[in-house]
Chains A and B, each alone.
Chain A
Amino acid sequence: MTDKSKKFLVPGISAAFMVVIVILAQLDILNNYYQTILMTICINVIMSASLNVVNGYMGEFSCGHGGFMAVGAYVSSMLSLILFCPGNSITGKALLPPESAIFLFPLVIIIGGLASMVVSLLVAIPSFKTRDDYLAIITIAMNFIITTSLNNIKVAGESRGLMGMKSALSRMSDVIDLPWILIWGMIFAAFAILAIHRLMTSTLGKGISAVRYDEISAEIMSVNTNKMKLIAFTFSSGLAGIAGGLFAHMLGFINPASFGIMKSTESLVMVYLGGMGSLSGSVLSAFIFTIMLELLRPAQILKWVIIPLMLILIMQFRPEGIMGQRELPDVFPKLKKLFSVNPDLVRHSAGEGKGGRS
């Protein structure tokens, strides 16, 4: 297989996989229940992979990821209510013809992500001077600020929250009958993974990891650590906002209580379960965690004893998480054949001093 064709292999397989799922959903082989689980997996993938940028790659400890999710969820829900839902609780009529949701829905979700990015400056700017435990406290405080504000904002429905976003999706299904939320969930999850992968393998993004290993030497070696923190926090929160938007539209109902510390803890658990600084680890752990939660549903309240217990056991016997810092191709070298080789990582000048320094 040539390098050129390898380039399209992994995206091709992923796209084919998505198409199969959509067809299965269309044929009702995957019923609503399984679709919801798949959708939750997609959201959790985005949440854990994006939190990994801050907690794993950059080595800071952010425990307010749920807050950023809330911002995305609320902004995109309100937008979607105002734009596409006649008879909504905010303006009472739709600004645009509801059918236009079919084109504008992804845009609405992305705007929610952008709003979270702006709010994340609340954490990113203190992070220039503060770190470790102190920054963790700031992130918790921020999570509380967001949920408490939402509890008191009238247009956001106060503690009752918002509902009715789902009608935008049913309008979309009226135009073309497809499981839209599932489709967009998978697309956004795939793009989140791709974006994190691309950022973290670029020289710019590797600066974020340099901050984790030694912030002082990073700064001395021309890495603008403040810029790195800004990129990591805004990027990670932006993705959380997107996950929030999808979450809101999947459930059709949100209230501030669903984005509290519990939600943030869930994301933290997934990151530590998968392995800090391992993208494939956090994707894998999002799958495992979501499915585990579903399987333990019959255990009801007991599952919140079983899951923390598992976490204790993992931390005791495998503190680095499932994948540690490795990625899937490091564990299964055969997978490497699927990916094209990055020419920059191969020694190509045999003679001494070729290329030279300017």
Chain B
Amino acid sequence: MSDTPFLEVKHLTQRFGGLQALTDINVDLKKGEIAGLIGPNGAGKTTVFNLVSGFYVPTEGDIFFKGKRISGLKPHVIASMQIGRTFQNIRLWSDMTVLDNICISQQYRLCYGVLAPFFHTKKYKAEEKKIHDEAWALLEKFNLADKALDYPRNLPYGVQRRVEIARALSLNPDLLMLDEPAAGLSTSDLAELISYIRWIHEKFGVTIWMIEHQMEVIMTLCDTIQVVNFGKEIARGTPEEIQKNPEVIKAYLGNGEID
């Protein structure tokens, strides 16, 4: 088991028509780490996430998760292989209750047939109960149980973020991909977010891979960081190495060019 790499992205290239979004991206995540993916705006970070979660089929290259090739699979199949993710702009089902949000994302574990809901079979009842129990337990852990029957659109932004992360965790993931979890949070909330992500990492034993612009968050949390710019990897290493890397500094501070 230790031999098979956890998440392996090999020579990933993505073209959208004439636009070369990614060129030869390689990723190698180890189980249990917190990894960061950073880069200036438009560097292609979210495209990497979208490719891994199956949203696009890569033009070239392969993606392996726990030794299985996942590139080309449908997003819902990849999700049921226990990869959870959040979105840069929160994408909850805002007109369904928080509880429903958490329950629906457990569809991967539904085994009752299409006709079961009509007849309320024993199996149906047992599975619905299990899904709801899991959902309640998860919400309790996130201190969201009192919000369970609220609609996300009525909740404050920070709480919506937490619900979205909880929803991603309801997939029971091994890999949790967070796309800019700090977006829209004030700087005073960052410390809270950092301890929060750490808590998730320990409590749920997930490998976390995140995109973030807040260097404070990335530098404190991540074991390894990968930097992309214009769809190409420019650096990889520990936070200390990245901070000193001249390429990275150039990409972020510019070299007389407009970013």
Contacts and interface: CB of A to CB of B under 8 A. Distances in A.
Interface of A: 195, 198-199, 201-207, 209-210, 213-214, 216-225, 231, 325, 343-345, 347-349, 352-358
B172 A357 contact: yes
24 contacts: A203-B127, A204-B114, A204-B117, A207-B104, A210-B104, A214-B91, A216-B91, A217-B93, A220-B54, A220-B79, A221-B79, A221-B167, A221-B171, A222-B105, A223-B105, A225-B76, A344-B132, A345-B149, A353-B137, A354-B137, A355-B134, A357-B134, A357-B138, A357-B204
Contacts of A199: 117-118
A216 B129 contact: no
Given A345-B149, A353-B140, 12 more contacts: A203-B110, A210-B104, A220-B53, A220-B76, A221-B167, A221-B171, A223-B76, A223-B107, A325-B95, A344-B132, A352-B141, A358-B172
Interface size grouping (class) on chain B: 35 or more
A206 B79 contact: no
B105 A221 contact: yes
A220 B85 contact: yes
A213 B85 contact: no
A265 B134 CA distance: 43
A120 to B, nearest CB: 14
B93 A347 contact: no
B128 A222 contact: no
Interface of A is mostly: helix
Interface of B is mostly: helix
Interface in B118-165: 118, 120, 124, 127-129, 131-134, 136-138, 140-141, 145, 148-149
Contacts of B221: none
B129 A344 contact: yes
Contact of A222 (B91, B92, B106, B116): B106
A325 B153 CA distance: 15
B117 A217 contact: no
Interface string B71-97: 000111001100001010001111110
Interface of B: 53-55, 74-76, 79-80, 85, 87, 91-96, 99-100, 103-108, 110, 112, 114, 116-118, 120, 124, 127-129, 131-134, 136-138, 140-141, 145, 148-149, 167-168, 171-172, 204
Given A213-B95, A219-B75, A354-B137, A205 B107 contact: no
Contacts of B76: 219-225
**Which residue of A203, A216, A345, A354 has the most chain B CB atoms within 10 A of its CB atom?**
A203
Contacts of B204: 357
A206 B136 contact: no
A356 B205 CA distance: 14
Given A195-B118, A221-B79, A352-B141, A206 B94 contact: no
